[in-house]
Amino acid sequence: MGAYDVLERLASDGFGNQPPVAYRALDFLVEQGLAHRITAKNAFAACMHPGHPHAAIFMICRGCDRLAESDAALIRSAISQSAEQAGFAVEHTVVEAIGLCANCRSDET
C-alpha cells in the first residue's frame, strides 16, 4: 500500500486525513518492525515476521504487483563482507528483486 492508500483507510476509520498522519503511522510501523518500506514501489508492506529481527529480500511481480518476502541472510552476509573489505560500514540494506510470479509466468506462455 502507498501512503495515500493508508490515508484513505485512516480517514474512513475517523482518523486524520492529512498526508503527514499517514506517513507518521507508516514510519511508526516500520520502526516497530511491523512493516517494510518497498522502495521500488514507493509503498509499504506488512512484515511477515514481526517481532523477529531478520534480513529480508522482497520479490516484486512486475505483472500483478504481488510481493513475497523471504530470508536474505546470505545476501546480507555477502554485502557485509564486501563492505568490510572496502572499509565501509553498512547501516541499512534493502534487497528488492523484480520479476514475474508463478501465475504471471504461466500467463505469458
Q: Domain spans of the chain?
A: 51-108
What CATH number does domain 51-108 carry, 3.30.413.10, 3.30.300.30, 3.40.50.300, 3.30.1490.190? 3.30.1490.190
- pLDDT by residue, tens only, the chain of 109 residues: 676 777 777 778 777 667 777 788 888 988 898 988 998 888 888 888 887 777 889 999 999 999 999 888 889 899 999 999 999 998 888 899 999 999 999 987 6
pLDDT attached to residue 17: 67
Cα 42 to Cα 2, 22, 25, 45, 75: the distances in Å are: 7, 14, 15, 10, 22
Find, among 47, 50, 42, 35, the residue nearest to 4 by Cα: 42
pLDDT attached to residue 5: 76
pLDDT attached to residue 1: 65
